[in-house]
A and B are shown apart, each in its own frame.
Chain A
Amino acid sequence: MQGTWAARPGALHAALRPVVPPPPGRVARFTLAGGPLHSGYPAPMPHTSHEPRLPTARGPVSAAVAQYLRGAGPLPRPEEIADGSVYGDDLQLALYLCYELHYRGFADVPADLEWDPDLLRTRAALEHRFLSALRADTPVHDSVEDALAEILVEPVDGTGVSHHLRDKGELWQLREYAAQRSLYHLKEADPHAWVLPRLWGRAKAGMAAVEFDEYGGGRPDRVHARLFADLMTDLGLDTTYGHYLDAASAEVLATVNLMSLFGLHRSLRGALVGHFAAVEITSSPGSRRLAEAMRRTGAGSAAEFFYDEHVEADAVHEQVVRHDVIGGLLEEEPQLAPDVAFGIDATGLVEDRFAARLLADWNAGRSSLRTPLPSEISGIS
């Protein structure tokens, strides 16, 4: 699956919401000389690390979390978490740091911090703010059928990011889009794998089958994350995991944090399934537009292939997710229907916010990234 989102009726609503500028970054104020504050975790053995480096902080909360991960400072105070802008850079990055420990971790951060109780308490406070905001801000359909029906209609005159890129996207915008999305696509399908133990029967079989397809059907060269890395190579981007975390906007961090939030909590399994359906349903037509954008700009054969593959794959995945995963889950657990609808609609909310941010920046002729990409590209055919 890949994440594209056609503009929906709610897009304008999201576009009008102001983007809060990031507070100035600052380092944690309490640096103790006595060694790591989180005691009991052995320092990592010296080795050639393949984990990403910790990113630059974007405010007091992300700075404190990063310093804690380094063993160099205390966790953020509850007031700091309460005061931050919930969709803003600081809180979204702080939450992203907490979640990333469950995927690949960071260089020079002990792996056992993944289950550090104090850090988990901070993560829970950040999640509480994020989930509360999502519940308050998401207009949720009355039924799963209604939520699905809305995204199963293709807009004739779509105004989403994929429409923009197909019709008039410039190569630098395609590169920025890929750099932003790489936060997800280089771990494509991973956040959704967590739901597997929480499903059974038809829902589990369908979900596992789609995930198997995402993971290349047993062939490493066809793992979708690998296909995306090949696309990035065509676009002259760095394929190192986590490379573009510093450059990524708060809005794209929120799209990935949403998946991690839903994936890591069994209580949100209905929302995870709804989210997954929303991405699969919107992916196929969006991927066709992005494949056309790649062809028009001569981005390269791997760049075209990634999206061409998703046109076909996700036309199938959509069917399996709607009939078997959602159908199977609600057959077993009908009480989860409102959560499934919430997952569908909350995905629309964060995707619309991301789209609004990209288009606002591009239409103003400026980069959507916090650190613009080097303009030199080698290897573009």
Chain B
Amino acid sequence: MPNSPSDPPRRITVQRRGPLLVEGPVEVELEDGSTVSSDRFRVALCTCRRSRRYPWCDTSHRDRA
């Protein structure tokens, strides 16, 4: 359903390193067509593709030493 013009835009915070931060709740459609959802106040979406809990960030993007 299209957004109503009165809906405020949903803010997404991007960073060069680290997850996308999205105001929750969110529903994510994955490549295989399945959907997963999170009702947190903010959701961290993995962008490095290393997360073992993809599409959610699990901090796997961190440097290792």
**Contact B62–A285 (Cβ < 8 Å):** yes
Residue of A nearest to B56 (CB): A312
| Set of chain A residues within 8 Å of B53, measured between Cβ atoms | 311-312
> In chain B, residues 18-59, which have Cβ atoms closer than 8 Å to a Cβ of chain A?
18-19, 21, 38-44, 52-53, 56-59
CA A284 to CA B61, docked complex, whole Å: 12
Nearest opposing residue in chain B for A206, CB measure: B42
Does the CB pair A315–B63 fall under 8 Å?
A: no
Q: Say yes or no: B41 contacts A313, CB within 8 Å.
A: no
Chain B's closest residue to A322 (CB) is B18
Is residue A153 within 8 Å, beta carbon to beta carbon, of the partner chain?
yes
Instruction: List, in ascending order, chain A residues with CB within 8 A of B38's CB.
Output: 312
With a cutoff of 8 Å between Cβ atoms, the chain A residues found around residue B21 in the complex are 316, 319
Roughly how many angstroms separate A209 CA and B65 CA in the complex, as a whole number?
A: 32
B41 and A212 contact, CB distance less than 8 A: yes
By a CB distance below 8 angstroms, the chain A residues around B13 are: 323
Size of chain B's interface in residues, with CB distance under 8 A? 21
- B65-A315 in contact (CB<8A): no
CA distance A96 to B44 in the complex (A): 36
Indicate if A89 sits at the interface (CB-CB under 8 A).
Answer: no
Contact of A156 with B42 in the complex, beta carbons under 8 Å: no
Q: What's the Cα separation between A284 and B53 when bound, in Å?
A: 12
Residues of B within 8 A of A351 (CB): none
Q: Does A152 contact B (CB under 8 A)?
A: yes
Q: Which residues of B contact A217 (CB under 8 A)?
A: 39-41
Q: How far is the CA of A340 from the CA of B26 in the complex (A)?
A: 33
Q: Is the CB of B41 within 8 A of A155?
A: no
Residue A176 at the chain B interface, CB threshold 8 Å: no
Given A217-B39, A315-B56, A154:B18 Cβ within 8 A: no
B22, closest chain A residue (CB)? A316
Which chain B residues border A153 with CB–CB below 8 Å?
A: 62-65
Chain B residues whose C-beta falls within 8 Å of the C-beta of A319 in the assembled complex: 18-19, 21, 42, 44
* B63 lies within 8 A of A154 (CB): yes
> How far in angstroms is the closest Cβ of chain A from B65?
5
Q: How far is the CA of A156 from the CA of B62 in the complex (A)?
A: 11
Chain B CB count within 10 A is highest, among A217, A288, A312, A318, for A312
From 282 to 313 in chain A, residues with beta carbon under 8 angstroms from any chain B beta carbon are 284-285, 288, 311-313
Min CB gap A367→B, angstroms = 32
Given contacts A153-B62, A155-B64, A156-B65, contact A315 B57 (CB under 8 A): yes
In the assembly, what is the distance between CA of A152 and CA of B62, in Å? 7
A147 interface hit (Cβ, 8 Å): no
Given A288-B58, A311-B58, answer yes or no on A316-B63 (Cβ-Cβ < 8 Å). Answer: no
User: Chain A: how many interface residues by the 8 Å CB criterion?
Assistant: 21
Contact call B42/A316, Cβ cutoff below 8 A: yes
Q: Contacts A288-B52, A311-B53; is A316 near B62 (CB within 8 Å)?
A: no
Q: Which of A155, A156, A209, A316 contacts B57 (CB 8 A)?
A: A316
Give chain B residues whose Cβ lies under 8 Å from the Cβ of A323.
13
Report the bound CA distance from A311 to B58 in whole Å.
6
**In the complex, what's the smallest C-beta–C-beta distance from B49 to chain A, in angstroms?**
15
Assembly CA distance A212 to B59 (angstroms): 22
Residue-by-residue, is B4-16 near A (CB-CB < 8 Å gives 1, otherwise 0)? Answer: 0000000001000
Task: Tell me the minimal C-beta distance from A50 to chain B in angstroms.
Answer: 31
Residues of A within 8 A of B59 (CB): 154, 284-285, 311, 315, 318
Q: Which residues of A contact B42 (CB under 8 A)?
A: 209, 316, 319-320
Residue of B nearest to A152 (CB): B62
* Chain A, residue nearest B43 (CB): A316
Shortest B60–chain A CB gap in Å is 8
Q: Which residue in chain A gives the minimum CB-CB distance to B42?
A: A316
Apart from A152-B63, A285-B58, what 13 extra A-B contacts exist at CB < 8 Å?
A153-B65, A156-B64, A213-B41, A217-B40, A284-B59, A288-B52, A312-B56, A312-B58, A315-B58, A316-B21, A316-B40, A316-B43, A319-B21
Chain B positions within 8 Å of A, measured between CB atoms, are 13, 18-19, 21, 38-44, 52-53, 56-59, 62-65
Interface residues of A (CB under 8 A from B): 152-156, 209, 212-213, 217, 284-285, 288, 311-313, 315-316, 318-320, 323
